[in-house]
Amino acid sequence: MKKKLLVIGAHSADFVWRSAGTIAKALEEGAETLVIALSYGERGESGELWKEDPKRSVESVKVIRHAQAQKAADIIGTPIQFLDWGDYPMIINDERVEQLTHIIGDFEPTVILTHSEKDPFNPDHPLAFQATQRARLLSSGAGVPSAFKNIDPPVWYSFEPHQPELCGFVPDTFIDISSVFEKKVAAMAFMGAQSYLKDYYTELATRRANHARRISGKKEIKYAEAHQSQVPRVTNTIF
Ligand SMILES: [Zn+2]
């Protein structure tokens, strides 16, 4: 079975914190991956750059954020596409949902990873969730032949938000990212506009690994990322 992972982040660094390990692991397993950054997070998620120089232009922040995310993607080994939709606020309209629908239809992912449905601390993350939800349904149809090209419905997960409990995030899938964690650390190191998050996400990976070890008995898990499935999974066997 083909393995194709599409990761959709509202801002250009979201994929690094929340899913760099999962992406690197998928690549290690021979999957094809694609990251979509809906915006650069130039206004709301580039704190260090604005602290450095409050008078700099939004355009100059976008250039830096593009370069940082591109470097992180290169380290992980995944292609990344920037849609430049703007952030804080992100505007979702029919045209943009159609653009995302085309991307999903062209890439034909078997798995989609995006934000959680709720995030009381971020105005754009739930919008990215909604746009992804709608585009996924528009590209896969109702599971029957349709008047348009429809792909098999991709498995769909939310990656872990910054404050999981307050976002209603309940992890049900843990990915062992121990073998690729060095890549995640290297990718995080390039996200200079949000360097305050590097230690936090390293700590989180060790805590999630603790949970994964307890759940599975797999003592070798040192680092893990947690996700929440949004649709039931269909498998050939209970095992
Ligand atoms: Zn974000």
What pLDDT score was predicted for residue 194?
77
Question: What is the distance in A from the centroid of ligand 1 to the CA of 62?
Answer: 14
Question: What is the distance in A from the centroid of ligand 1 to the CA of 143?
Answer: 31
What pLDDT score was predicted for residue 28?
97
Question: What is the distance in A from the centroid of ligand 1 to the CA of 29?
Answer: 27
Question: What is the distance in A from the centroid of ligand 1 to the CA of 32?
Answer: 23
Tell me, what DSSP letter sits at residue 157? Answer: E
Nearest 5°: the CA angle 41, 107, 112 is: 60
What pLDDT score was predicted for residue 237?
95
Question: What is the distance in A from the centroid of ligand 1 to the CA of 219?
Answer: 32
- Complete domains list, the chain, with CATH: 4-229 (3.40.50.10320)
Mean pLDDT of all residues in the chain? Answer: 95
At residue 34 the predicted structure's pLDDT band, cuts being 50, 70 and 90, is very high
In the predicted structure, residue 143 carries a pLDDT above the cut 90: no
In the predicted structure, residue 1 carries a pLDDT above the cut 80: no
Taking only the tens place, the pLDDT of each residue in 81-103 is 999 999 999 999 999 999 999 99
Question: What is the distance in A from the centroid of ligand 1 to the CA of 217?
Answer: 33
Question: What is the distance in A from the centroid of ligand 1 to the CA of 125?
Answer: 6
Taking only the tens place, the pLDDT of each residue in 150-207 is 999 999 999 999 999 999 999 999 999 999 999 999 999 988 777 778 899 999 999 9
Q: What sign does the dihedral 137-142-143-146 (CA atoms) show?
A: negative
Q: State the first-to-last Cα distance of the chain, in angstroms, to the nearest integer.
A: 18
pTM for the whole thing? 0.96
At residue 71 the predicted structure's pLDDT band, cuts being 50, 70 and 90, is very high
Tell me, what DSSP letter sits at residue 159? Answer: E
Give how far Cα 92 sits from Cα of 10, 68, 103, 122, Å.
11, 25, 15, 15
Task: Over range 135-148, report the average pLDDT.
Answer: 90
Question: What is the distance in A from the centroid of ligand 1 to the CA of 147?
Answer: 35
Question: What is the distance in A from the centroid of ligand 1 to the CA of 214?
Answer: 30
Those residues whose beta carbon sits under 5 angstroms from the ion ligand 1 are 10-11, 14
At residue 118 the predicted structure's pLDDT band, cuts being 50, 70 and 90, is very high
Question: What is the distance in A from the centroid of ligand 1 to the CA of 60?
Answer: 19
What pLDDT score was predicted for residue 196?
78
In the predicted structure, residue 13 carries a pLDDT above the cut 90: yes
Question: What is the distance in A from the centroid of ligand 1 to the CA of 119?
Answer: 10
Strands of the chain (E only): list them: 4-9, 32-37, 80-82, 111-114, 155-159, 173-176, 224-229
